[in-house]
A and B are shown apart, each in its own frame.
Chain A
């Protein structure tokens, strides 16, 4: 009876439950950051890691595709972390941006975008070749998946990839996003990711919105708007190039 009432409330007030669960997770993470790493590893990095870990188990136990959100009682986290509020909050971070910093990094940001999309595609396509895929459609789709997990299926659908290859390309994009979230705070000191300029370039090179948003949040929240601004154009650029230029180039190389 108690459980029933509790479930009813948690489900009915999903977003509020989301605030509570995430708030407790944040508190725990900052506490762990303080006690275990002496504050060296950001609390937000730990929180993101806990989130990813829980979503692994969510997927494992429910068989769904939305991690923790597939557990009915926790579906409210889906509203909180969904595209609408995520984009709203990302845009809000732009309020503290210095226009001069942005202007100075503008051109490098555009170059980083082009280089980033090409580089990720080539990496993905190269791995696909190494694993024995030889047809242009599959190689292009897997390469596009390494750009982002949206570019993969968009490209695959446009050029008629098999559903197995599509799933693979989505998985490649997910691996990229998740790895960026986890690895960025550790790698940041070695790649000079500590100023607005390198953040703009980072956003352009990596591009996957959730990866950049999570990775920068775990590294230094001040850098978030600079990285997310360039990353905002990455998926679209990938969707533009994937089924057209990349597919044609891959077909030409493989024939």
Chain B
């Protein structure tokens, strides 16, 4: 049944956010520490565990896939409620600070992507030796 998929997704979400909140309290941070990420890991590993044991019923999968597919419209709705006006009325300091952070981060994506690669090939080389 489709609800099984939706319920599995909900349980992973709640569990992840709960653990994230708990982590935040333990670390003394007023924020949820990776709750969404923990929930994703729960779903990935919970999902693959279930699939190996006994494949999820296609109907059950549909309950998760619907929300995955509705992701982009939700992001569009999210974009429509960003405080764009507030961002631009922050003046040159805010605009420059935000922009510089983005430009530098973009520039480092290829650098860090390459950084991990030679490591892997060295491992491969040592393994050959």
Give residues in A with beta carbon < 8 Å to B. 18-19, 22-23, 25-26, 29, 44, 47-56, 58-60, 65-69, 74, 77-78, 80-82, 85-97, 99, 102, 105, 107-108, 111-112, 115-116, 119-120, 123-124, 126-128, 131, 142-143, 145-147, 150, 154, 167-181, 183, 187, 191-193, 197-198, 201-202, 205-207, 209-210, 213-214, 217, 221, 224-225, 228-230, 232-233, 235-236, 239-240
Contacts and interface: CB of A to CB of B under 8 A. Distances in A.
A120 to B, nearest CB: 4
B53 to A, nearest CB: 15
Contacts of B20: 236
B109 A86 contact: no
Contact of B116 (A107, A154, A209, A229): A107
Contacts of A180: 102
- Among A19, A80, A228, max chain B CB count under 10 A is at A80
A55 B67 contact: no
B105 A235 contact: no
A67 B97 contact: no
6 contacts: A29-B76, A66-B83, A92-B71, A94-B39, A154-B30, A168-B91
B44 A94 contact: yes
- Among B43, B73, B104, max chain A CB count under 10 A is at B73
Main SS at interface, chain B = helix
A229 B40 contact: yes
A206 B102 contact: yes
A65 to B, nearest CB: 5
A131 B91 CA distance: 11
A18 B79 contact: no
Contact of A112 (B91, B94, B112): B112
Contacts, number: 326
B75 A214 contact: yes
Interface residues of B, number: 78
B76 A26 contact: yes
10 closest cross-chain pairs (CB), A and B:
A171-B90, A59-B85, A175-B98, A81-B77, A232-B37, A51-B79, A174-B87, A171-B94, A92-B67, A94-B40
B87 A171 contact: yes
A182 to B, nearest CB: 9
A156 to B, nearest CB: 12
A86 B78 contact: yes
B127 interface: no
Contact of B97 (A80, A94, A145, A213): A145
A107 B112 CA distance: 11
Interface in B49-67: 61, 64-67
B35 A232 contact: yes
Given A81-B76, A154-B30, A230-B37, A146 B47 contact: no
Given A18-B77, A87-B17, A213-B78, 16 more contacts: A19-B73, A22-B77, A44-B72, A47-B72, A51-B78, A69-B80, A74-B80, A81-B79, A81-B80, A86-B78, A95-B65, A99-B45, A197-B116, A207-B105, A221-B71, A221-B72
B93 to A, nearest CB: 5
Interface string B88-118: 1111111111111110111111101101100
